[in-house]
A and B are shown apart, each in its own frame.
Chain A
Amino acid sequence: MVMTRVLPGARAARRRPRLPRMSALTWIGLVLLLLFLLLAVAGPIIAGDSTVRTGDTLAAPGAGHLFGTDHLQRDLFARTAEGARVSLLVAVAGVGFGLVVAVPAGLVAGYYGGRWPDDVIMRILEALQALPLFVFALFVIGVTGTGDSEIGPVTLTSTAKVVLLLGVGFIPYFARVTRSATLVEVQEDYVNALRVIGVPRWRVVGGEILVNVLPPVLVQAFLWVGVAVFAESALSFLGLGIQPPQPSLGNILGDATGYMLLGAWWYSIIPGLVILAATIGFNLVGDGLGDALDADARR
């Protein structure tokens, strides 16, 4: 037997797992992101209840209270950690909701690129995009109120409303990315080859095109989680988002504004830094992921 061919086993053994090559910025982003995730995931477990009154009003950060306390004597580490958790969940859920609607819409639009289903979908999305997120949010919250609203049998909490608002705001962007990736993919010969074999259209789109379209879309979605944390914070800061006593990074900041002049710098600076870390972290890591994906595609 001729042994010149490289056996698949030998090839797999050579590819040892090692640290991926990343730029310095990506490393910085990764560190910030991990710190944020640590705070959001482990923080609430360590700190316990975020509504307990500790007896210290506006105490500076120290051994007893890592991030200090607020005007209602609550521990700010517990509040910030809980707020980070809420912000993260809301952001991920918002992006997830956006993806669930936008990816199918973008796939269909891209598959029928230039024909009427594409036109219909894209015009609707353009109309949606023309509406600034905050104006839209002001309108919706203004009509439905900041509390829970009941739509038929479904009760929407204020948190759910923020998730939906963020998701709807993101749909046009996600759909655009999906559509443009699909437009490229539809040009590949396998789309026709599978049609000739008899694979139904929905399976070509959902089973074959989707796997090639999803990676760039997910990278984009990852970037937008950072934007979502920021947007949620902004809405809550204005009092339109997560309602007290439930903490969120935004409404902690909102509470803190009155106490900056009293010298309680920690009250606003620390949650602000957490928002900054999350936004920058998600962006830098998302960029790194995008670069890795490009490099992978070029290989």
Chain B
Amino acid sequence: MSAVRAEDLRKHYRIRSGRGGDRVVHAVDGVSFEVPAGRTLAIIGESGCGKSTIARMLVRLTEPTGGRILVHGRDGVDRRAIQLVSQNPWSALNRRKSIRHALEQPLAVHGLHPGRAARAARVRELLGLVGLDEAYLDRRPGGVSGGELQRVTVARALAVEPKVLVLDEPTASLDVSVKALLVNLLLDLKQRLGLSYVLITHEIDIARHLADDVAVMYLGRFVETGEAERVFDAPRHPYTRALLAAVPAPGREPAEPLPGEVPSAVAPPPGCRFHTRCPLALDACARAVPALEPVADGRLLACLRADEPPSPR
């Protein structure tokens, strides 16, 4: 059984506008994926493409407009099965409450480890899991560094013994030196606790390190999914290629950015949503919506020109 399964997930936001009725933002528009137990799926894409909306739906902060989410085969809201680590640890912890409070609260809410001694022991164990010592317990978030605070939020998420963690840009607000530490911690925790991750990020190198599978998202839809190594080594979709080429690497200049802006999610372009910026677009791309279809090596690709060989650069 897969750890997480999303079926045709949709989220449309209705925004009130003065004249001409309401407008609808198509934040997520028909996304399906599956995360096998013990694996990590990275969802990558530019800001505003709907990644974080998927994270919010997975942890049930937002109700999907359509489709459904199964966590270990179950459909209902289960606050213990799936947990969230968000981007900004300073904001994710209450600045007037101690770290001890933050870690004891999930235990108290779910009645785990009843009794003062058992609870204190569990809190120490949680801190140990993320490599922090007891000296942090009585501190407040104000006096603790970002990397350490992010470990605290990971520990808090683990307190309810979840099977799945949704990592929403977990490293985006951390210093470069601290990012690597957190990535290693996350890899280690996954091994030790048998967790599955859904990683939402725009940082390609973080996804490369953590992900087993990757899904590339553009304007509310997946354009390419597959095993991380294959997708990163030989991207097939023109958007994936552009995204990966934009990452600077030693000995390589980052490629020219894509022309134009991401179109509005209120009125997404007809046909393939990427055709307005695609270097390979044909007339047909503006008319037909490409389905996410299997191509060789187990990948799924949504591109009308999937069968053609990659254009020479």
Contact = CB atoms under 8 A, between A and B. Distances in A.
A154 B152 CA distance: 53
A261 to B, nearest CB: 57
Contacts of B153: 193
Contacts of B106: 197-199
Given A8-B135, A199-B109, A190 B79 contact: no
B105 A190 contact: no
A189 B156 CA distance: 14
B109 A190 contact: no
Interface string A1-28: 0000001100000000000000000000
B130 to A, nearest CB: 16
A197 B92 contact: no
A64 B160 CA distance: 73
A197 B97 contact: no
Interface in A197-211: 197-200, 203, 208, 211
A208 B109 CA distance: 14
A144 interface: no
B88 interface: yes
A188 interface: yes
Interface string B110-151: 100000000000000000000000010011001000000000
B139 A8 contact: yes
B60 A190 contact: no
A243 B96 CA distance: 45
Interface in B77-99: 79-80, 83-84, 86-88, 91-97
A193 B160 contact: no
B79 A189 contact: no
Contact of B91 (A8, A190, A199): A190
A72 interface: no
A203 B109 CA distance: 10
Contact of B96 (A8, A192, A200, A211): A211
A interface majority secondary structure? helix
Nearest to A214: B96
A195 interface: yes
B105 A197 contact: yes
Contacts of B156: 193, 197
Contact of A197 (B94, B96, B142, B160): B160
A189 B88 contact: yes
A203 B142 CA distance: 23
Contacts of A246: none
A190 B149 CA distance: 13
A203 B108 CA distance: 12
Interface in B1-42: none
B218 to A, nearest CB: 26
B176 interface: no
A127 interface: no
A200 to B, nearest CB: 8
A208 B61 contact: no
B200 interface: no
Interface in B140-191: 142, 153, 156-157, 159-160
B285 interface: no
Contacts of A199: 105-106, 109
A198 B135 CA distance: 27
A54 interface: no
A45 interface: no
A194 interface: yes
A196 interface: yes
Nearest to A185: B94
A212 interface: yes
B33 to A, nearest CB: 20
A56 to B, nearest CB: 57
A198 to B, nearest CB: 3
CB-CB nearest 9 A-B residue pairs? A198-B79, A189-B91, A189-B92, A197-B106, A196-B84, A196-B59, A211-B96, A188-B91, A193-B92
Interface of B: 59-61, 79-80, 83-84, 86-88, 91-97, 105-106, 109-110, 135, 138-139, 142, 153, 156-157, 159-160
Given A193-B93, A199-B109, A212-B94, 14 more contacts: A7-B135, A190-B91, A190-B93, A190-B94, A192-B84, A194-B105, A195-B61, A196-B60, A196-B79, A197-B157, A197-B159, A198-B106, A199-B105, A203-B109
Interface of A: 7-8, 188-190, 192-200, 203, 208, 211-212, 299
